[in-house]
Amino acid sequence: MNSLATHRINARKVRIYSKYGRNKCFFIKKWRFGKKLKIKKQILWSDRRPRYKTFYGTPDGDCVNLRGVSGQGNNPEPPELFWDHALVLYDGDIYDPSYGLGPYKYNETGKNNYENAAIDGYSDYHIYYNPGVDTCKKNNPNARELEWTLE
């Protein structure tokens, strides 16, 4: 945002969250969902701090992260899930500079189009507060499932 302001380009930040709760995450494309819709985490300890290893696939879970949307710097496999994410609103259009997505109109249809292009599903997965087995939910292409906040 600061680099745009340097060039006198008026843009605003849009923050997105799962509508299922701010401590719930959303999966960036691309995922394969099985029948159980579960993921399982195991706590690992290093440097006296907990680290979490996530297992995908049967029998430990069946939400499987696949290669999907590329990220900044041509990263073929950027982070696969977020609890929040920042977008850019410029001249009535939404852009996702992290994944090179956009433009999408900043209206109900455009927001839903962005969600369908970028998001595969949702979970109550939380690496700090909810170790154990969590459930997953596929993105509903006909409904908005993100909360949008203009900053």
Give the number of domains in the chain: 1
Find the helix or strand (DSSP H, E) in which 115 lies. Answer: helix 108-118
Give the per-residue pLDDT at 55: 44
pLDDT value at position 36? 62
Task: Check residue 37 and give its pLDDT.
Answer: 60
Residue 146 has what pLDDT?
Answer: 94
| Residue stretches of the chain with pLDDT short of 50 | 42-46, 49-60, 127-131
Tokens standing for 131? 């170790």
CA distance 123 to 39: 9
Which pLDDT score is estimated for 21? Answer: 80
- pLDDT for 52 equals 45
For residue 47, give its domain range. Answer: 2-150
